[in-house]
């Protein structure tokens, strides 16, 4: 199994509803996002997927989050915008945009240098 990973980042604010901590107050992070895709076959150029193509897809999703108050975004409206929820959102937005023969493996969202959450799937597409 081959794995390809790219990273991107965005800056955004959020508050964690019902956390009963100081994080219920509006605060911000410089988030780092790591994406992992995998597959069993390389293309004729010897690549699973071109890094630049994956970066373009991820960038389109990240742009919806960058410099926003995540509490105000419609697609997160019914959830507390935790790192876990953001990872799941990015994962679900990536799935329909990667080639069908590849598996969306994992998205990690780092809200600081030492704290991250991830969302992953062990199921094959299709």
- Residues annotated as part of the active site: 23, 67, 111
Apex 60 CA angle, 116 and 108, nearest 5: 15
Cα distance between residue 104 and residue 94, in whole Å: 8
Closest among 122, 118, 99, 100 to 109, alpha carbons compared: 118
The enclosing H or E element of 86 equals helix 83-94
């Amino acid at each position: 199994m081959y794995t390809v990973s790219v990273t991107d980042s965005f800056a955004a604010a959020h508050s964690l509803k019902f956390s009963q901590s100081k994080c219920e107050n509006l605060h911000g992070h410089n988030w780092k996002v790591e994406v992992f895709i995998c597959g069993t076959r390389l293309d004729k150029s010897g690549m699973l997927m071109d890094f630049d193509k994956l970066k373009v897809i991820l960038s389109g999703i990240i742009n919806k989050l960058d410099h926003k108050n995540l509490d105000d975004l419609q697609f997160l409206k019914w959830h507390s915008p935790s790192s876990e929820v953001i990872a799941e959102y990015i994962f679900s937005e990536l799935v329909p945009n990667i080639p069908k023969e590849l598996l969306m493996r994992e998205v990690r969202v780092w809200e600081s240098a030492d704290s991250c959450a991830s969302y992953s799937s062990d199921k094959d597409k299709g």
